[in-house]
Structure 1
């Protein structure tokens, strides 16, 4: 691979070795393996927890809570964060340019993987419910059954959930 042909000043190099340009947003450079990897190392709550909780785990829980027709969208609702990082909502609200790029990237991801964007109300509701659950589990310590996965397990479960979505689509 001739990296000089693929690298641009707006690019990041992903775990798979691809270059993803945040301005071009070529769908061919978006890879489910990179999404799973990035989200499995991305912390929830800006990393301000006593224990690591990944965005990948959050996404798998969203997938498990979603109606069958919304499972893929639920799994990938934070996929843009694999390329742009997870930013706490209060900061994100102060950065309209970040929000615009994130919205555009989310649309490109939705088109590539074949789900509706903007997200249906169920996805937004699940995201909100998970925020509350995760806060209770991780900060308030009142959800004793909530178990945190390490990055390898989060990535594995994320990819398994994705494979299940493909099986449903193909059948």
Structure 2
């Protein structure tokens, strides 16, 4: 409860009093599924693609029961619920942490720090900077250069995410810099090694070690606040529900 209380205080001090997260799933209303209703839990929930609509590669089923083509991403098929849920279940550093620490928490902590320094628009970029990992998983940095074509695939998915939520495609340099600096804060959750000395320029954010459920809720809560705060800059583009 202590960690939850601190997290709540951090969120309120950053964004003010916010409404608690309400699921932004256009297949969910009042506690029941609509549109793609499940007759039985064992039955898959998918959308059939017309034969004439050829897509590159194959599709994967997302958390909300949708189809997503990682090699042929489209912004209208990006759903924030899928992103928040997936990232909340993925551990940073390929799981080589002392305790579970999710990509979702990493994204939230980064976004809240950026909000205080550079404003809501930069913070929204920070929150979504790893959103492609919801569809491609969090590949360790040393592995990425050896995966032929991975960077291109990652860039296409990330561009679709940014387009979905009304953001220009280029990630600000301030987000890149903060993403590297937060490693210094995260080292507290790793076994000590000599390379840690290279990351002395920390952001100074506390690592909360939220559970997946806490991380997902904090991610959605932060997303809603930042979307509201940047609506005018983004041209009022809505987010959350799939088209």
- With structure 1 as the length reference, what TM-score do the two structures score? 0.90
- Are the aligned partners of 1:73 and 1:116 in contact in 2 as well (CA < 8 Å)? no
Return 5+ residue gaps in structure 2 as ranges: 1-35, 37-44, 193-203, 233-243
Q: Tell me the CA shift for residue 51 of structure 1.
A: 1.1
Runs of 4+ residues over 6 Å off in structure 1 = none
Inter-CA distance 128–148: structure 2 relative to 1 (3 Å threshold): same
Residue 3 in structure 1 maps to residue 64 in structure 2 = no
Specify the structure having the higher radius of gyration (Cα).
2
Query: What is the CA deviation profile of residues 13-66 of structure 1, one whole-angstrom value per residue up to 9, with x for unaligned ones?
Result: 011001101122122211000000000001100111121110000000110111
Could you tell me how far apart the structure 2 residues matched to 1:5 and 1:146 are?
42
- Aligned residue number for residue 110 of structure 1: 162
Could you tell me how far apart the structure 2 residues matched to 1:4 and 1:159 are?
25
2:108 aligned residue (36, 51, 60): 60
2:66 aligned residue (7, 18, 34): 18
2:128 aligned residue (76, 81, 96): 76
Q: Tell me the CA shift for residue 10 of structure 1.
A: 1.3
Residue 165 in structure 1 maps to residue 226 in structure 2 = yes
Could you tell me how far apart the structure 2 residues matched to 1:168 and 1:98 are?
33
Identify the structure with the greater helix proportion. 1
- With structure 2 as the length reference, what TM-score do the two structures score? 0.64
- Are the aligned partners of 2:144 and 2:150 in contact in 1 as well (CA < 8 Å)? yes
Q: Tell me the CA shift for residue 98 of structure 1.
A: 1.1
Aligned-residue CA RMSD (Å):
2.1
- Aligned pairs for 1:121-140 (under 5 A) are 121-140=173-192
Residue 146 in structure 1 maps to residue 198 in structure 2 = no
Residue 90 in structure 1 maps to residue 133 in structure 2 = no
- Are the aligned partners of 1:80 and 1:102 in contact in 2 as well (CA < 8 Å)? yes
Secondary structure, in 3 states, of the residue corresponding to 1:36? helix
Inter-CA distance 96–118: structure 2 relative to 1 (3 Å threshold): farther
- Are the aligned partners of 1:6 and 1:19 in contact in 2 as well (CA < 8 Å)? no
